[in-house]
């Protein structure tokens, strides 16, 4: 009997080793966060089995875990490129610009939608990318340009359809207290970050239905985590995330898969230029009522520009995690619903989703690097007495 069990243990260990090797081979083909999460999960299960069970049963359970992971990773393998066509909005700079170059190198037929087809970003794409890439004039807030872009895409892809649409175009505005943000900034953020993505999606869905392809929307961690100073931007990205969740269920009937990318802090040109900041500050100061300006103080408003310096200090310069996640969303047999590239992004999203509000608010305030000053009225020692 002992000999039988010994042989069974050795057999289980051999099976575990084989399955573990197969899992590792699959991991090499799995980009971005897929591999990291699987390694953590398999390691956790293996350690748990060894600590709580006998060698025989832990070997059996660990073998089963490896087998299930092998099946799971098989579904995460990337489909062949086969000159699949992808439309990317906001390709002038940032994620869209880097993604256009990246997918072009992988062999995709790329339609890079830009706000200014004569700008430096568009010219660089024409100069550095292959003939497969086409630069399209595509301001997502301009319905006529969306229609023109659709016509040009149809002309090139013909009966193949369009494999993927990546709604990347977005604006940030000047980060400042929600009370101080002009209504025009709220409307501009919604126009670009939400309504623009919706209109592009609606226009190109007939082509995605033909290919049973992918819809990928670039949201933000700010769309799930309430971040101070980002009321306009965060609200627009939250709307985009909800739109994506609804479309994911509706478009599943047509064979179209929908994914949302929620990056953490990365350095891109979404923050704009000094000239843009000057204009935004002037707009804020020009539209404030005297009592609001008195309470906040002009010095407080002008100090908010330091937010950009902090983003530059803590933001990641390497966009590779974002590019790998978007590639997985476009190419995997079974892409994920949500991707959270960037260190700590998924932790904050999980934290706000599952922790009580009072706990989240406390830690968010405690670790918020962007709250470095207080409005003028709150700095006054007798403010509380006046309020009462």
- Give the structural domain span for 262: 85-366
| pLDDT above 70 for 86 | yes
Does any domain span residue 374? no
Per-residue pLDDT, averaged over 72-90, amounts to: 84
Instruction: Tell me how far apart the terminal alpha carbons of the chain are, to the nearest angstrom.
Output: 83
| pLDDT above 60 for 91 | yes
Q: Cα 261–262–264 angle (5° rounding)?
A: 135
Confidence of residue 342 (pLDDT cuts 50, 70, 90): confident
Same domain? 161 vs 181: yes
Same domain? 163 vs 181: yes
User: Is 72 annotated as catalytic?
Assistant: no
Same domain? 244 vs 114: yes
Does any domain span residue 231? yes
Q: Give residue 369's pLDDT.
A: 56
Confidence of residue 89 (pLDDT cuts 50, 70, 90): very high
Instruction: Please state the pTM of the whole predicted model.
Output: 0.81
| pLDDT above 90 for 116 | yes
Which contacts of 306-312 are long-range, i.e. CB under 8 A and separated by 24 or more positions?
A: 306/372, 307/175, 307/176, 307/229, 307/370, 308/175, 308/271, 308/277, 310/369, 310/370, 311/265, 311/267, 311/271, 312/267, 312/271
Same domain? 62 vs 92: no
For the purposes of burial, counting CB atoms within 10 Å of the CB of 322, is it exposed (0-12), middle (13-18) or buried (19 or more)?
Answer: buried
| pLDDT above 70 for 63 | no
Q: Cα 254–259–265 angle (5° rounding)?
A: 165
Same domain? 208 vs 247: yes
Torsion of CA 334, 335, 338, 339, to 10 degrees: 140
Q: Which of 58-62, 110-114, 268-272, 278-282 bottoms out in mean pLDDT, i.e. has the lowest?
A: 58-62
| pLDDT above 60 for 361 | yes
The pLDDT mean for the chain works out to 83
Q: Tokens 């630069």 appear where?
A: 135
Same domain? 127 vs 223: yes
129: left (phi over 0), alpha (psi -120 to 50) or beta: beta
Cβ atoms 193, 153 nearer than 8 A: no
Helix axes 2-28, 55-75, angle to 10 degrees: 30
**Greatest mean pLDDT range, 150-154, 266-270, 274-278:** 150-154
| pLDDT above 80 for 297 | yes
Question: In this prediction, what percent of the chain has a pLDDT beyond 70?
Answer: 74
Same domain? 52 vs 179: no
Does any domain span residue 386? no
**Distances in whole angstroms, Cα of residue 317 to Cα of each of 34, 215, 312:** 21, 26, 9
Does any domain span residue 197? yes
Confidence of residue 77 (pLDDT cuts 50, 70, 90): confident
Helix (H) / strand (E) element for 87: namely: strand 85-88
Does any domain span residue 383? no
Does any domain span residue 116? yes
Q: CA-CA distance, 86 to 105, in Å (whole number)?
A: 13
Q: Which of 102, 233, 296, 339 is catalytic?
A: 233
Per-residue pLDDT of 316-335, as tens digits, reads: 788 999 999 999 999 999 99
Same domain? 37 vs 141: no
Identify the CATH number of the domain in which residue 229 sits. Answer: 3.40.50.720
Same domain? 216 vs 361: yes
Q: Give residue 213's pLDDT.
A: 96
Of 213 and 73, more confident: 213
Does any domain span residue 388? no
Q: Give residue 180's pLDDT.
A: 93
**Distances in whole angstroms, Cα of residue 192 to Cα of each of 82, 178, 226, 288:** 32, 18, 20, 24
| pLDDT above 60 for 13 | no
Q: What is the DSSP string of 306-333?
A: HHHHHHHHHSBS--HHHHHHHHHHHHBS
Residue at a domain's end among 54, 75, 96: 75
Q: Give residue 25's pLDDT.
A: 56
Spatial strand order of the sheet with 85-88 comes to 134-137, 109-114, 85-88, 164-167, 214-218, 257-261, 338-339
Residue 145 corresponds to which tokens in the numbers above? 């340009």
Same domain? 56 vs 97: no
Per-residue pLDDT of 196-249, as tens digits, reads: 999 999 999 999 999 999 999 999 998 999 988 899 999 999 999 999 999 999
Does any domain span residue 267? yes
Residue at a domain's end among 28, 49, 75: 75
Q: Give residue 304's pLDDT.
A: 79
Q: Give residue 202's pLDDT.
A: 98
Per-residue pLDDT, averaged over 167-174, amounts to: 91
Cβ atoms 99, 176 nearer than 8 A: no
Same domain? 89 vs 206: yes
Same domain? 25 vs 142: no
Q: Give residue 1's pLDDT.
A: 46
How many structural domains are present in the chain?
2
| pLDDT above 80 for 20 | no
């Amino acid at each position: 009997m002992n000999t039988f069990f010994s042989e069974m243990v050795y057999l289980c260990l051999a099976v575990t080793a084989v399955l573990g090797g197969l899992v590792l081979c699959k991991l090499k083909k799995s980009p971005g966060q897929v591999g990291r999460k699987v390694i953590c999960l398999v390691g956790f299960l293996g350690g748990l089995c060894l600590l709580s069970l006998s060698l025989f049963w832990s070997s059996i359970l660990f073998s089963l875990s490896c087998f299930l992971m092998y099946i799971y990773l098989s579904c995460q393998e990337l489909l062949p490129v086969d000159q699949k066509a992808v439309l990317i909005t906001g390709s002038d700079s940032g994620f869209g610009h880097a993604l256009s170059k990246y997918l072009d190198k992988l062999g995709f037929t790329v339609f890079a939608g830009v706000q200014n087809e004569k700008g430096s970003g568009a010219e660089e794409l024409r100069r550095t990318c292959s003939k497969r890439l086409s630069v399209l004039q595509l301001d997502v807030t301009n319905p006529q340009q969306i229609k023109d872009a659709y016509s040009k895409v149809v002309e090139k892809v013909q009966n193949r359809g369009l494999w993927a649409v990546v709604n990347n175009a977005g604006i940030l505005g000047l980060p400042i207290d929600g009370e101080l943000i002009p209504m025009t900034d709220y409307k501009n953020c919604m126009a670009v970050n939400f309504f623009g993505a919706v209109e592009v999606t609606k226009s190109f869905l007939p082509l995605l239905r033909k290919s049973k392809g992918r819809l990928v929307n670039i949201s933000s961690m700010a769309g799930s985590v309430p971040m101070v100073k980002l009321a306009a931007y965060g609200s627009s990205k939250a709307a985009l995330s909800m739109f994506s969740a609804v479309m994911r269920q509706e478009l599943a009937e047509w064979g179209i898969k929908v994914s949302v990318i929620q990056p953490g802090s990365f350095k891109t040109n979404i923050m704009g230029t000094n000239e843009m900041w000057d204009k935004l500050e002037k707009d804020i100061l020009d539209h404030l009522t005297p009592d609001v300006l008195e309470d906040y103080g002009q010095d407080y408003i002008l100090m908010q520009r330091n937010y950009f310096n902090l983003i530059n200090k803590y933001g990641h310069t390497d966009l590779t995690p974002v590019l790998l996640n978007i590639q997985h969303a476009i190419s995997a047999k079974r892409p994920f619903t949500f991707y959270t590239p960037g260190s700590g992004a998924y932790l904050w999203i999980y934290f706000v989703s599952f922790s009580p509000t009072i706990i989240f608010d406390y830690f968010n305030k405690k670790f918020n690097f962007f709250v470095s000053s207080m409005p003028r009225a709150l700095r006054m020692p007798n403010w509380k007495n006046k309020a009462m």
